[in-house]
Amino acid sequence: MPPTIDATAYHNLLRAFLAEDIATGDITTEKTVSLTQRARGEVIAKVPLILAGIELFAEVFRILDSTAKVEIIARDGEELDPGKIPARVEASARALLSGERVALNLLQRLSGVATLTRKFVHAIEGTEAAILDTRKTTPGLRALEKYAVLVGGGKSHRKDLAEAVLIKENHIRLAGGVSAALTAVQNTRGRVAWIEIEVTNLDELRAALAHNPDLIMLDNMSPGLVRQAVGEVREHPAPHKIRTEASGGITLNNVREFAEAGVDWISVGALTHSAPAVDISFEIEPLL
């Protein structure tokens, strides 16, 4: 089952988005549309997509018009063909016009993330690997973009810097090496979700294995080198399973090679930093 979202929990965030766009007033709408005019808007998919954010879309109009009536026809996670109508909104015409851009921007952005994620998930179908997001998210939208990844069938990596230890290349350099960095974080074990270190070659991998981290990120390695690294991790005697993660340079064209190399996780920054917004329209008609 795809995840669900409580749109009311993002009430203040949506209000901030609306304030940014409307500012001191929607001058065009206020001058051209009667205060008493009612209207109906239909959301229409223009391209094949995975829907994400429809409840947030609806909440925008409920904020602007407490009498708004929203008909949700398709739920997040559903695959929509061009022409499909996932929702209709009946409300003040001014509310529909003033909220249109914010509501559509969110829906197009989140559906774009979900759609790209679903493509990666389908590309590795039948393997043991999972597709994960990263922290390469839009500031202020992380929770929503990570939600969209879940809707698309992916999984969430750490949500913030406090959740888990992830020792990257710069940490290693500043700490004085792989062993020094891993030694320094051992007292966090049991207080964080996991301890992970990024390695870029087999020498770094072997140094990391000596400290038995929970997870090893194989960064910017070829699928062949990843396969070799995974083999060494599996042969290493450890008190717990050490999972492996492939990251860096992963595309739809090569992601299956990495999955078949035996990694547990494949993290793809592109899910959130490069997903294109999908084409969705909102067509508004007056109600007599």
Give the residue ranges of the chain where pLDDT is below 70: none
pLDDT of residue 54: 98
pLDDT of residue 288: 72
Residue 119 tokens read as 């493509």
Report CA-CA distances (Å) from 37 to 26, 42, 65, 107. Answer: 15, 17, 12, 25
- In a 10 Å sphere around its CB, with 0-12 CB exposed, 13-18 middle and 19+ buried, how is residue 279 labelled? middle
Question: For residues 108 and 235, what is the distance between their CA atoms, to the nearest angstrom?
Answer: 45
Question: Among residues 136, 155, 159, 227, which one is catalytic?
Answer: 136
pLDDT of residue 3: 87
Query: What is the value of pTM for the model shown?
Result: 0.96
Q: For the chain, first and last CA: distance in Å?
A: 40
Q: Where are the alpha helices (DSSP H) in the chain?
A: 11-22, 27-32, 54-64, 93-123, 142-151, 169-175, 178-184, 202-209, 223-235, 255-260, 270-273
101 is catalytic: yes
Question: For residues 151 and 135, what is the distance between their CA atoms, to the nearest angstrom?
Answer: 17
146 is catalytic: no
pLDDT of residue 1: 73
Residue 84 tokens read as 């499909």
Q: Are 197 and 217 in contact (CB under 8 A)?
A: yes
Question: Among residues 26, 145, 198, 245, which one is catalytic?
Answer: 198
Counting other chains too, the contacts that 162-171 makes at CB distance below 8 Å and 24 or more residues apart are 162/192, 163/192, 163/193, 164/192, 164/193, 164/194, 164/195, 164/196, 165/192, 165/194, 165/195, 165/196, 166/196, 166/197, 166/198, 166/217, 167/195, 167/196, 167/197, 167/198, 168/198, 169/198, 169/200, 169/219
Question: Among residues 75, 101, 119, 243, which one is catalytic?
Answer: 101
pLDDT tens per residue across span 139-194? 999 999 999 999 999 999 999 999 999 999 999 999 999 999 999 999 999 999 99
159 is catalytic: no
**Residue indicated by tokens 């005697």:** 237
Question: Among residues 69, 128, 168, 234, which one is catalytic?
Answer: 168
Residue 259 tokens read as 């999955």
Q: Select from 239, 198, 241 the least CA-distant residue to 220.
A: 198
**Residue indicated by tokens 């008493």:** 36
| Residues near 246 by beta carbon (within 8 Å), at least 6 away in sequence | 129, 217, 218, 221, 226, 258, 261, 263, 265, 266, 267
Is the domain defined by 126-273 classed in CATH 3.20.20.70? Answer: yes
Q: Select from 11, 30, 96 the least CA-distant residue to 61.
A: 96
Q: Count CB atoms within 10 A of the CB of residue 127.
A: 16
CATH pick for 7-121+275-287 out of 3.90.1150.10, 3.90.1170.20, 2.40.40.20, 3.20.20.10: 3.90.1170.20
Question: Among residues 219, 245, 256, 264, which one is catalytic?
Answer: 219
Question: For residues 212 and 251, what is the distance between their CA atoms, to the nearest angstrom?
Answer: 29
133 is catalytic: no
Instruction: Parse the chain into domains and list their residue ranges.
Output: 7-121+275-287, 126-273
